[in-house]
């Protein structure tokens, strides 16, 4: 696969707790240089980053991250704040405990509430596949499809595992035609990235890909 094709599917990511503005700025420079799909950064840097990149690059941020067990009101406020600060895309984490309690409607309504708060911006829904059973993964494919979200995303990268080929294949098969798939967490090689795209992922979330492509 062409290098440019990989890069335009990349959410160039820096979400470490220790991330500084200087590191985020460098990430933005790389995103603009390599024409990535977006940079995915902590909410506290969204305003500064958007002012820095202007319209040259999409800025993505995370909501309810990484655990997902905040209240819906808190997630909605975070989303509204991110949008106000200039975020172009939102990656939210579901309430995993609610899903495991069988509260499917609550999980659905929360995603819908965050989608509304996005005010037309792209919404990606992180389901944290490493913590779910196969049945729960299938359930979430249905819920995300019904919610009106734009993407289903495998992982935060902050739990016990990241994207797997099997999970991306399953998601692609089960989500509605209007829902795209984002593979994130643990993408270690260029070959991994190419395989995820071949299996149906539309976006890749990783901090390593540009470095790997430059080697």
Q: What are phi and psi of 87, to 5 degrees?
A: -60, 135
Token digits for 69? 């067990």
Q: Which position among 88, 91, 150, 167 bears the catalytic label?
A: 91
100 is catalytic: no
182 is catalytic: yes
Token look-up 């494919």 returns 141
Q: Which position among 75, 124, 137, 153 bears the catalytic label?
A: 153
CA angle 153, 26, 37 (to 5 degrees): 35
Q: Which position among 124, 180, 182, 192 bears the catalytic label?
A: 182
Q: Helix crossing, 165-174 with 190-198: angle to 10°?
A: 20
Whole-number Å distance between alpha carbons of 76 and 82: 10
Count the neighbouring beta carbons within 10 Å of the beta carbon of residue 26: 12
Q: What are phi and psi of 86, to 5 degrees?
A: 110, 10
Beta bridge partners of 205: 11, 184
Count the neighbouring beta carbons within 10 Å of the beta carbon of residue 160: 8
Using an 8 Å Cβ cutoff, are 82 and 61 in contact?
yes
153 is catalytic: yes
Whole-number Å distance between alpha carbons of 38 and 25: 13
- Which residues form the catalytic set? 91, 153, 182
């Amino acid at each position: 696969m062409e290098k440019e094709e990989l890069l335009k599917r990349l959410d160039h990511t820096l979400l470490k707790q220790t991330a500084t503005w200087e590191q985020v700025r460098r990430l933005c420079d790389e995103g603009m240089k390599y024409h990535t799909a977006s940079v995915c950064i902590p909410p506290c840097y969204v305003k500064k980053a958007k002012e820095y990149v202007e319209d040259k690059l999409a800025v993505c941020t995370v909501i309810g991250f990484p655990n997902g067990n905040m209240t819906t009101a808190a997630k909605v406020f975070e989303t509204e704040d991110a949008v106000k600060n200039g975020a172009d895309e939102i990656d939210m984490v579901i309430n995993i405990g609610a899903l495991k309690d069988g509260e499917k409607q609550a999980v659905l309504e929360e995603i819908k509430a965050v989608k509304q708060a996005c005010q037309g911006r792209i919404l990606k829904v992180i389901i944290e596949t490493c913590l779910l059973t196969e049945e729960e993964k299938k359930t979430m494919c249905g819920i995300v499809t019904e919610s009106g979200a734009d993407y289903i995303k495998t992982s935060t990268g902050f739990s016990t595992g990241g994207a797997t080929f099997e999970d991306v294949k399953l998601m692609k098969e089960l989500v509605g035609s209007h829902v795209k798939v984002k593979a994130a967490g643990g993408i270690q090689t260029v070959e991994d990235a190419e395989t995820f795209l071949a299996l149906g992922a539309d976006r890749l979330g990783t901090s390593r890909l540009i470095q790997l492509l430059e080697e």
